[in-house]
Amino acid sequence: MDRLRSFYASLRALLALGMAHGASAPAAAQAPDPDRQAFERAMREGTPEAFQSYLDAFPLGRYATDAFRELVARSLGSRTLLEPAAGPVDVDPARPRDLY
């Protein structure tokens, strides 16, 4: 019987700890993300310099690939590369694909 009481006491303590931790999780989820903020700033400015600045600050950031694409596109005079290209795609299901 003592083991059962001890088990339930431990379980209540773990549940209380989980609820206390869960209460602080939404506040942590809303903490500012500097990587995202920097990329959004670069997108708002829309200049090659802004994307280069993002890449200088976050070379391996979550948006580094998109920032590099935008940097190249805007350096070449295109508006953006983040929009999908329109047009036919040459896909022949009978032909095997080269994956490498």
Average pLDDT value for residue range 59-68: 94
Biggest CA pair distance of the chain: 77
20-29, 60-69, 73-82 — most confident range? 60-69
Question: pLDDT tens digits, residue range 14-25?
Answer: 666 665 555 555
Give the distance from CA 54 to its chain's centroid. 14
Using DSSP, state whether 26 is helix, strand or coil: helix
**Confidence bin at 92 (pLDDT 50/70/90):** low
Alpha helices, H only, the chain: 2-29, 34-45, 48-57, 64-75
Interacting residues of 3 by C-beta distance below 8 A, sequence separation 6+? none
Q: Indicate the pTM of the whole model.
A: 0.51
Question: pLDDT tens digits, residue range 19-60?
Answer: 555 555 555 567 889 999 999 999 999 999 999 999 999 999
